[in-house]
Structure 1
């Protein structure tokens, strides 16, 4: 369903529709760079009302979800935010859930278009458990912010999820070169999802606190990419396992009991390496258009003429124009790709001509990552900020 802030009688003047999974909300409201700066400064809210919202109630809700997902949830305290994954039997990610329990209800938000599918799957998994599942998409709207929105945390009809990234949760493990979360490039990352009644969306622009405004989803995406934060369905595909995108850090408990996909999680972590790895790309800013997600990534050859025949080493997954760093992107590369190699992002065809964008890579997931290499002493613990 398209956001009322994007179209209809309550549409915000200047709103421009997003694309791909974000087509139902505004990419920006006429000033994308200024909006991004405001969001980074903690004085803007992003309309994410297209995200799916699912609730689980009943006395068994946390122990039931604990059995089904990758995260330890049976002891989750009210108000504590976490991230959890539903995996297939091969350990590949099916749903990436932002989860918080308010003491009576467990709230899960997922990517656009996934709410009904998740609710349907959970309903089929109920059996004798004392739980009730509801798809609340369209009834409850998600709004994103990098700071506390004045007055919202004291409201009884507002639920807040705080992103634990990049802290290492209990039972989690970093797949970066440096295991210390304090040294992570996004150590100061702060992100929250506020779940508010969807009926309030049309009046949101006039109801924001003094000094606050709206920012489009382009602003949120730029900050997310800069924080090296993978997004399900954008930076992942139907083959992705959590290790490849560093989600063992926040969304997997390596010491919990059995769940679907656990065998792959344990085997890759204890005995091997993930076959692919997430990387950050600093793109050449001389062009006027960002390369499209899905573009091939190749190691830069000796001559530009060879670029068209170079074998891809990965795929560009998301790109944005950052207000300070310029054009940036995330890509999923083959694990064996040299971390020091200069890269090219390649679009087009041999017949129509190639568009090539130079890219300098920075390692997100280490090619050497795994239990046997760089494991920190003891268990690092982190938590929502």
Structure 2
């Protein structure tokens, strides 16, 4: 059985807190100096910061945005710097939560997703795709276990779809599938001091996809380590009704311990996750793509588990061929930044007659000396590391070199 509960389109339960913070907490002068460099985002370090929000995803039946995310607190450069020097706190109203309960919950999910769930526990999470019978990705999932239920984190745009797909496969099994987005909430902690700050509330997950139960001033939370921004990072599952208190407690403990913890918006997080080589569903790949095209096979797909919808197609691709296209990183040798949707051409194609790909995400990378980098969906002929391609950005013809997603920013360049 299922119970679909749509996200309240009014937005984050933290919006009022963000507004108060912007009024009462002007930028620290020393921090603002650290963020002051050519090309830096601007703001007013002596007064109130202007909050900016972005609509996320589709619309409700009433024509309102499904949700809106905090884009910036007013100084993107400082928010980015916090994730590189301290702990950035990310509000995530764009994440949906599906809860599976009942004795057969794990068996049902195992039969539906691409990842094996053996060993799933309260201390070990999984990432996985949900695919259709043609092997195409329907959703990108983070799967975490509680003592008596399974939590699925998913883009809010796919929450109802995933709930319906899973519910439609419940027959006589003891499973309840519920869209619990209105009950559960997600916040992220990212940066070199995130682990230390989180350690104030319990045992910290040590490795990627490790999980731990925390007590944040009497509020229960489940933390899963993600490391999405080329720095330690954690997603916290919390009760929506308690998230404001938890947020304030985390900030307060950080201040007491001398840990720089600050709210960061989507603009800064997006730049950092591109540097981290982290593709996002609905941005870099979508429901038209096969798992292999996402370049996330190793972390999302098991080739030794039992059947699931689309398994035969995914397995055939793994053993008998290669995808026609795949996500790769691009290091751009120019001072121009291509926007998402920019066409990519073969380096030798001066006529720009044959498109070999498209930019899906891009940013100026502080970790690369303010050089532009990008994630792109590229055709098979140019996906090899070291391949050269040509793009046009800001009216300039640019050369770019293809690299693996996890080497967009090399270790030697990181500060």
Match of 1:162 among 207, 210, 225: 225
Gaps of 5+ in 2: 1-8, 23-49, 58-65, 203-213, 407-415
Equivalent residues in 2 for 1:313-328, closer than 5 Å: 313-325=356-368, 326=370, 327-328=372-373
8 Å contact from structure 1 (residues 6, 17) kept in 2: no
Name the counterpart of 2:54.
18
Structure 1's 52 and 295: CA in aligned 2 closer, same or farther, altered over 3 A? same
Give yes or no for the alignment of 1:130 onto 2:130. no
Q: Which residue number corresponds to residue 61 of structure 1?
A: 105
- Which residue of the other structure, out of 65, 72, 90, is the alignment partner of 1:46? 90
Q: Is the 8 A contact 2:88 2:262 kept in 1?
A: yes
Are 1:197 and 2:244 matched, yes or no? no
**Aligned partners of 2:328 and 2:377 also within 8 Å:** yes
Contact preservation (8 Å) 2:186, 2:237: yes
Partner of 1:225: 274
Deviations 1:94-139 (A, max 9, x none): 0110111022121111113221221122222211111111212132
Task: Give the one of 310, 326, 335 matched to 1:286.
Answer: 335
Partner of 1:45, secondary structure, is strand
Give the structure-1-normalised TM-score.
Answer: 0.78
Question: 2:312 corresponds to which residue?
Answer: 263
Q: Aligned with 2:157: secondary structure?
A: coil
Distance 1:253 1:189 in 2: 26
* d(CA) in 1 for partners of 2:114, 2:376: 24
Distance, in Å, in 2 between the alignment partners of 1:158 and 1:8 is: 20
Which structure shows the higher strand fraction?
2
- State the secondary structure of the residue aligned to 1:253: coil
State the Cα RMSD in Å.
2.8
1:90 aligns with 134
SS in 2 for 1:24: strand
Take 2:189 and 2:132, find their aligned partners in 1: how far apart are those partners? Answer: 31
Distance 1:30-1:202 versus aligned 2 partners, 3 A rule: same
In structure 2, the partner of 1:108 is 152
1:316/1:345 contact within 8 Å kept:
no
Q: Name the CA shift for 1:278/1:60 in 2 (closer, same or farther; >3 Å).
A: same
* Aligned: 1:312 with 2:355: yes
Paired position in structure 1 for 2:389: 343
Q: Which has a greater percent of helix?
A: 2
Distance 1:302 1:316, change over 3 A: closer
The reply to whether residue 358 of structure 1 matches residue 398 of structure 2 is: yes
Q: Which has the higher contact order (CA 8 A, sep 6+)?
A: 1
Deviations 1:5-38 (A, max 9, x none): 4579956532212365497111211121221121
Q: Secondary structure at the match of 1:228?
A: coil
Kept in 2: contact 1:70–1:262 (CA 8 A): yes
- Taking a change above 3 Å as real, the CA distance of residues 302 and 266 of structure 1, as seen in their structure-2 partners, is closer
In the aligned structure 1, how far is the partner of 2:55 from the partner of 2:395? 21
Greater alpha carbon shift after TM alignment, 146-155 vs 104-113: 146-155
Distance in structure 2 (CA, Å) of the matches to 1:57 and 1:334: 42
Structure 1, unaligned stretches of length 5 or more?
Answer: 166-185, 348-353, 367-385
Q: Specify whether residues 152 and 97 from structure 1 end up closer, same or farther in structure 2 by C-alpha distance, changes over 3 A only.
A: farther
User: Normalising by structure 2, what TM-score?
Assistant: 0.72
Q: Deviation string for 1:311-347 (max 9, x for gaps)? A: 2101111112333223321001001127444333347
